[in-house]
């Protein structure tokens, strides 16, 4: 199972905010992007990673730029996490 990143958590917060602002429920989002409702709930809770395709579809539904869905700070944190993970793999292989 993939680890939920800072970008996933930022995306989740933004999704909840946009959904509430639009006054739609998780079922509506799920229907619009072709996901089960429980997957949308898991994404919003930060219990499930969002795929790139899902993120693009969700952003499009709300007419929001993908970059606004995660924010620069979250992306920077995700890059740091990725670098640390790669460093750990290199150390364990060496």
Q: What is the pLDDT of residue 21?
A: 94
Q: What is the pLDDT of residue 76?
A: 55
How far is the CA of 6 from the CAs of 71, 72, 82, in angstroms?
10, 11, 11
Which residues are within 8 A (CB) of 8 and not within 5 positions of it... i.e. 6 or more apart?
Answer: 43, 46, 49, 50
Range of the domain at 47: 6-93
Report residue 92 CA to chain centroid gap: 29
Number of domains in the chain: 1
Residue 71 sits in a domain whose CATH number is: 1.10.260.40
pLDDT tens-place string over residues 39-77: 999 999 999 999 999 999 999 999 999 888 887 655 555
In this structure, is residue 55 part of a structural domain?
Answer: yes
């Amino acid at each position: 199972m993939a680890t939920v990143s800072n970008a996933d958590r930022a995306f989740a917060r933004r999704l909840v905010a946009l959904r509430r602002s639009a006054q739609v429920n998780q079922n509506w989002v799920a229907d619009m992007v072709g996901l089960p409702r429980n997957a949308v709930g898991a994404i919003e809770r930060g219990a499930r990673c969002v795929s790139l395709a899902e993120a693009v579809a969700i952003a499009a539904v709300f007419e929001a730029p993908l970059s606004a869905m995660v924010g620069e700070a979250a992306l920077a944190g995700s890059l740091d996490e990725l670098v640390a993970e790669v460093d750990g793999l290199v150390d364990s292989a060496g």
